[in-house]
Amino acid sequence: MVHYAEKTEVMYHTGLSGEMIDGARYALVPGDPGRVEGLAKALDDDASFVASHRDFTTWKAKVSGETVLVMSTGMGGPCVTFAVEELARLGVKTFIRVGTTGSIQEDLNLGDLVINKGAVRRDGASKAYAPAEYPAMADMRVTLALEEAARSLHVPFKTGISVSTDSFWPGQERYDSFSGYVRRSLQGSLEEYRHLGCTNFEMENATLFTLCSVMGLSAGSVCGVVAKRLDSEAVAPHEVYEEAERRFRQVAKRALTMLIGHFMVTL
């Protein structure tokens, strides 16, 4: 049995109510609160601030006549669970993660986009919702819309499987941490996942995909490459970061336009 919130009920963690979000069924969910305003205004020049509570900063925009939320989730899977649980109670049906990532394949370069169709569940939060054997898969309809959007905009991208971790350092086999130590069981993990065909490391997809599948919701993900891990552990210069962000904003907007248009046609 699903539990929708009353129209005036304010969600404890996100600070949102049904009245505040104008019937939104779509949400872009970046991790960083600082990314929200720019994303919202890229969708709609008249986008407006809604609320800011804990990790969750929310703006709303109009795309093809539909209200779309842009809400930060904070970093990592546990924070994603708050976002999905509470937005779902308010009626949001489709979630698209937008953010940055580190590539682990030679043909994924700085500034390129990664559209993930699935994720390796190296997180912990998703295991509270489904056993480890349950696949973390993006919604096919959302993934195809993101691919078509990137293709039509001539944006370089690759579709693949991410590795979602709860740790930015040892979990992604980074040695530039305070101690420089990576547990023996994780040493060589980057190379192993690369040989398995995985495309990138990030921290939210596995939780987002698993929760949305379990709850009968739709999820997708598009991220810009700001670290090429086969070359360096360092994050790319600011201009590369800006280019990646410009690209995933464009792709997210066009994909939303296609998804909303398809929904309207099928009504």
Active site residues: 13, 86, 174, 229
CA dihedral 15, 19, 22, 25 (to 10 degrees): 60
Amino acid in position 123: D
Q: Which segments of the chain does DSSP mark as H helices, in order?
A: 18-21, 36-43, 77-89, 140-152, 189-195, 205-215, 238-266
Residue pair 208/84 in contact by the 8 Å Cβ criterion: yes
Residue pair 72/65 in contact by the 8 Å Cβ criterion: no
**Cα–Cα distance measured from residue 266 to residue 141, given in angstroms and rounded to the nearest whole number:** 14
**Cα–Cα distance measured from residue 42 to residue 62, given in angstroms and rounded to the nearest whole number:** 11
**Cα–Cα distance measured from residue 200 to residue 108, given in angstroms and rounded to the nearest whole number:** 9
CB atoms closer than 10 angstroms to residue 113: 26
